[in-house]
Amino acid sequence: MVKPFRLIIGIGLGFLLLATPAFAARPGNLSLGVYGGWAWGIADEGIDGDRHTEFEDGSVYGANLIYRFPGGLALGVSIERLEMDLKEFGDTFGTIKMTPVMFNILYQGIPAGGRGLTGHGGIGLGVNFTSFDRGPETRPTISVDTDNDFIFSIYGGLDYFFSPNISMNLDGRFLLGAVETKWREFGSTLPIGDLNIHNFQLLLGLRFWF
């Protein structure tokens, strides 16, 4: 699989090369952003059907590319990386590693004069590339395979524009989805449900506008 940030940089460069004449006539419509923050698991059951399991909080980082049309409607792509530990009664059974790649539709405000406070909000839909690392409480004879599943996000936040070309954003985001898994031991499939990876993220980002 192509490494995540090579993928988004390649998309961004291709976007720029194909559409440079249009963007030159409307500076400030194309934006490349990077962000980081924290994610908290919000599902009642980390493993579907096991109310004693939960996902702990973990770090998040990512990047996105958007194009804003006149009036505020924007389209974009995003990619991020996050990990959360799966626990039961305080014991760590493993870590889910996720790389959601999403297409986003959003409203993006621009302050009058290109400086000041505004906001944004939107939704995203895409594919969550996943893997699972066994923890110290998981027997070494057990193997865990994960599927790459659809994922959905809804988010909103504030933007502060230092200039027409640089802004900082604070986001709250719900990332919603499940991960199908197959737990096997000695050739037999264990009766363990899907992973509920719903989480809330608090993110701080920096954007560059072209």
Give the CATH number, domain containing residue 155: 2.40.160.20
Tally of structural domains, the chain: 1
pLDDT computed for residue 24 by the predictor: 38
Q: CA 71, CA 159: separation in Å to the nearest integer?
A: 17
**Which long-range CB contacts under 8 A does 39-43 form with residues at least 24 apart?**
39/82, 39/84, 39/175, 39/199, 39/200, 39/201, 40/199, 40/200, 40/201, 41/84, 41/197, 41/198, 41/199, 42/174, 42/198, 42/199, 42/200, 43/196, 43/197, 43/198
Q: What is the pLDDT of residues 81-121, one digit of tens each?
A: 999 999 988 888 899 999 999 999 999 999 988 899 999 99
**Residue span of the structural domain in which 110 resides:** 4-209
Q: What is the pLDDT of residues 157-210, one digit of tens each?
A: 999 999 999 999 999 999 999 999 988 888 788 888 899 999 999 999 999 999
